[in-house]
Amino acid sequence: MSGEIMTIISALVAAIATPVGAWVGSRLMRAKYQAEVEQLRAEMKDKLAEVKSHELENVRKASDILMESIVPPLKTEITKLRNDVQRLNKALERIWGCPHVDRCPVKHELLRKPKGGEGTDAGRSGGTDGDGGNKRKQHGDKARDDPDGDDGGVDSDGD
């Protein structure tokens, strides 16, 4: 009988140990896979941070290239334009001292009212006075006027 009890006990131990062993093994494997997954996630985060770092570096390099290759030529061009405008202003100021000021075509062009060309609000204001909404007076409100008051007149034929 003692052989039978041993057989029964070993059968019971085998019947219990097999599922318990499988369960313990699956728990250990799951813990192992969880650790691997966490490690892969950490590596992925590191790679994403590295990619973002490279993107930021590329943007910085692009802005440096922009600042080095585009901004200096623009500054040079702006300086040239400012100098040209200053020269033009000086030349325009000298018109009034010219002995030919009465018949000066440049002066007449400057004093003439713009006709719907560049820099006017023609067609936008909806004015009905026939001058495209330009309400500037003919003689009294000019940007540049003859200091003597006798400029040959915009309406006069000074030719």
- pLDDT of residue 121 exceeding 50, the answer is no
Q: Lowest mean pLDDT of 33-37, 98-102, 116-120, 127-131, name the range.
A: 127-131
- pLDDT of residue 149 exceeding 80, the answer is no
- pLDDT of residue 82 exceeding 90, the answer is yes
Q: The whole model's pTM is what?
A: 0.38
* Residue 80 exposure: Cα atoms within 13 Å on the Cβ side: 6
Nearest in space to 108 (alpha carbons), one of 149, 147, 146? 146
56: tokens are: 């930021």
Confidence of residue 110 (pLDDT cuts 50, 70, 90): confident
Per-residue DSSP letter, 100: T
Per-residue pLDDT at 53: 96
Please list, in sequence order, all residues whose beta carbon lies within 8 angstroms of the beta carbon of residue 113, skipping any fewer than 6 positions away.
131, 134, 136, 138, 154
